[in-house]
Amino acid sequence: MRKLNNTMVIAVDHGYGNIKTVNTVTPTGITAYDTEPTFEGDILQYGGKYYRIGEGHKAFLSDKTMDEDFYILSLAAIAKELDIEGITTADVHIAAGLPLTWVKTQREDFRKYLTKNGKVRFTFSDKQYNLKILGCKVFPQGYTAVIDRLSEMNGVNMLADIGNGTMNIMYINNKKPIESKTFTEKLGVNQCVIKEHIVFDRYGTILDESIIEQMIRTGTADIGDKYLDCISDAIKEYSAYIFETLRKYEYDSELMRLYITGGATLIKHFGEYDESRVVIIEDICAAAKGYELLAYNALLREKDQPKKPPKPKAAPDDSSENKPQEVNADANDQSDQSPTES
């Protein structure tokens, strides 16, 4: 979280597996109740309902505004970030992101979705929050996770952002993103989880997803060897398919460097790759940090940008019997609008 005057700039990375801020990670799970849940936890009360935050995973949606879930999850994420500083009342500017190829078509709808309530009051973990949502900037996913590394990206580079629902691919040549070479594949970590049904097929046992997540993060889990080997084989197969998909977009390790973010630990522990040519970015909050930095810098520019002086009124036209003439204001003056994010 960054502070600009009295505005808190808070990034929220809306993943299908986890909701991330700069300092927090919460599973993208949400369950609604009409009455207060029996057990304690991350409970958000809003609009006459109770929501348990962080259990399970959000199903993949090609448009994140199709239901209220990501809005409720955003409130919880913002509350968690504010709680670190002991703040419960704040003016907030949200920094968010969308998959690379969705940004142009969905940015404005997502922005309106996240800012639909200018003032919002809710309770989270027994604390009352009062927020004024001043605005929102939406950036391309993946790219923001490597903005602190652009200086090293000489020549041809490929970025692969492996999310839970999608994998975003972008070329960055000589430090500049190539907009015409951005791609989104429905090939997220959730597809790897689906492959774990091999354990049921082989042994008739249903695995808890937390075991798979632990293996992806650490490379191992406290389970029997037969299950460990079975899951490892499935993740290795998925990892190989990731590289097969990258090659479909002309990935060649001898001609370019590859930067992997998002589910990068999966590749680190189970992938076969040239370590001298592949950069693994393990920080799961890297994209959120990028959103926040870009939004903060954009707001600084807007703050320092001088506004156009008002246009003088036209003098009366004596030829019209000195009757006052109506002055047509410049309806296209956009000096107060935010610059388009990149």
Residue 298 — φ and ψ, nearest 5°? -65, -40
Q: What percent of the chain has pLDDT over 90?
A: 65
Contact call for residues 142 and 157 (beta carbons, < 8 A) = no
> From CA 309, how far away is CA 51, in angstroms rounded?
48
Confidence (pLDDT) at 193? 63
Asked whether the domain spanning 151-273 has the same topology as the one spanning 2-140, the reply is yes
CA 140 and chain centroid, separation: 8
* Pick from 297, 268, 291: nearest CA to 114: 291
* Pick from 246, 243, 108, 97: nearest CA to 170: 246
pLDDT in tens, 286-335: 999 999 999 999 999 998 876 666 666 655 554 444 443 333 333 333 33
Is residue 110 packed enough to be buried (19+ CB in 10 Å), middle (13-18) or exposed (0-12)?
buried
Confidence (pLDDT) at 197? 66
Q: Which CATH number fits domain 2-140: 3.30.420.280, 3.40.50.10190, 3.30.420.40, 3.30.70.330?
A: 3.30.420.40
The residue with greater pLDDT, 157 or 315, is 157
- Domain definitions of the chain by residue range: 2-140, 151-273
Residue that is written with structure tokens 């409720």 in the block: 72
Q: Which amino acid makes up residue 4?
A: L
Query: 148 pLDDT exceeds 70?
Result: yes
Structure-block tokens of residue 113 = 């979705």
Q: Which amino acid makes up residue 317?
A: D
Please state whether 33 falls in left (phi above 0), alpha (psi between -120 and 50) or beta: beta
pLDDT in tens, 49-80: 999 999 877 777 888 999 999 999 999 999 99
> From CA 156, how far away is CA 322, in angstroms rounded?
68
Q: What percent of the chain has pLDDT over 70?
A: 86
> From CA 152, how far away is CA 148, in angstroms rounded?
9
Query: 47 pLDDT exceeds 60?
Result: yes
- 213's CB contacts (< 8 A; 6+ apart) are none
Q: Which amino acid makes up residue 22?
A: V
| Average of per-residue pLDDT across 209-214 | 83
Confidence (pLDDT) at 331? 32
Confidence (pLDDT) at 308? 63
pLDDT in tens, 158-182: 999 998 888 999 999 999 999 899 9
> From CA 339, how far away is CA 295, in angstroms rounded?
11
Structure-block tokens of residue 77 = 């994420």
Q: Which CATH number fits domain 151-273: 1.10.167.10, 3.40.50.720, 3.40.50.300, 3.30.420.40?
A: 3.30.420.40
Rounded mean pLDDT of the chain? 86
Contact call for residues 231 and 196 (beta carbons, < 8 A) = yes
